[in-house]
């Protein structure tokens, strides 16, 4: 589809989406976003372009995944700029539904239960968040009919739960994790970085520096706490897991995850680590 298209087709309804996809070629790849696209999203779209004949980007700020007092209303929305990013990455279709289109009967009675992992870490800080995420991911996978879906590793717990959803429900979808894109100084790209002041942004570098310092030490958690403290950051959590977010490994490859507030902005980041190497 992309060979003859210079700008993405924008569709707002499921009927329009079905009609335009019926004219496309397979396989279909999807990148699900809430808009406010940055270089990290562009990398996801590039990976999709390499793998799929038809690339769909979804832009939908999903109310189900925001809890009371969170930033749903002020979450950055920049649709025209987002379309430019999609055009630059040769996206074929942008599906940008309204909440009423996604949830025509109001807040859904039936949602996805994401299981015990969703009650830990980000799930503990944001109760119900992952049920909202998996419910909309489930709907968008069905609506787009995608054979392959691309998600960033920065939201590693989310990525792990989406893989669990696809596995446990026998969806014929390949879930591809794409490495975190960072600024030259190491800060992980996030749509919420716009909330940071200049001073807060400098302080936030402590998170990525903690991950870097902990990547090849005997005790990654202790080392990460040390570096965070040097930057005046008190984390919500610093946790070591295996690569599927199970129990921490005694030795070998694991995943270190950090969440912390810098000012009023909650940031998350993670990286692979080698446990017990020193």
Q: Which residues contact 237 (CB under 8 A, 6 or more apart)?
A: 121, 257, 258, 259
The CA-atom distances, in angstroms, between 21 and each of 47, 172, 227 are 20, 17, 49
Backbone torsions φ then ψ of 226, nearest 5 degrees:
-60, -45
Determine the Cα–Cα distance for residues 87 and 9; give it in Å rounded to an integer. Answer: 10
Contact 218, 278 (CB under 8 A): yes
Collapsing DSSP to helix, strand or coil, 255 comes out as strand
- List residues with catalytic annotation: 41
The CA-atom distances, in angstroms, between 243 and each of 7, 160, 190, 205 are 38, 9, 22, 24
């Amino acid at each position: 589809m992309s060979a003859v298209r210079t700008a993405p087709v924008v569709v707002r309804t499921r009927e329009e989406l079905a009609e335009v996809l019926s004219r496309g070629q397979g396989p279909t790849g999807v990148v699900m976003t809430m808009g406010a696209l940055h270089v990290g999203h562009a990398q996801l779209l590039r990976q999709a372009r390499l793998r799929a004949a038809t690339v769909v980007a979804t832009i939908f700020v999903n109310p189900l995944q925001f809890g009371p007092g969170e930033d749903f209303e002020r979450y950055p929305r920049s649709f025209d700029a987002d379309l430019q990013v999609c055009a630059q990455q040769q996206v074929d279709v942008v599906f940008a539904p309204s909440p009423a289109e996604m949830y025509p009967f109001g807040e859904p009675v039936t949602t996805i239960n994401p299981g015990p992992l969703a009650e830990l870490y980000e799930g503990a800080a944001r109760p119900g968040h992952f049920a909202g995420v998996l419910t909309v991911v489930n709907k968008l996978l069905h609506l787009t009919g995608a054979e392959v879906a691309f998600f960033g590793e920065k939201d590693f717990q989310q990525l792990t739960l989406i893989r669990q959803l696809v596995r446990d429900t026998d969806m014929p979808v390949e879930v591809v994790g794409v490495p975190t894109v960072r600024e030259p100084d190491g800060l992980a790209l996030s749509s919420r970085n716009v909330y940071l002041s200049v001073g807060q942004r400098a302080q936030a570098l402590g998170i990525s520096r903690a991950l870097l310092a902990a990547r090849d030490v005997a005790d990654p958690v202790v080392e990460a706490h040390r570096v965070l403290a040097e930057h005046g950051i008190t984390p919500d959590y610093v946790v070591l897991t295996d690569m599927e977010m199970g129990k921490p490994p005694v030795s070998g490859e694991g995943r270190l995850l950090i969440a912390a507030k810098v000012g009023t902005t909650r940031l998350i980041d993670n990286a692979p680590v080698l446990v017990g190497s020193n």
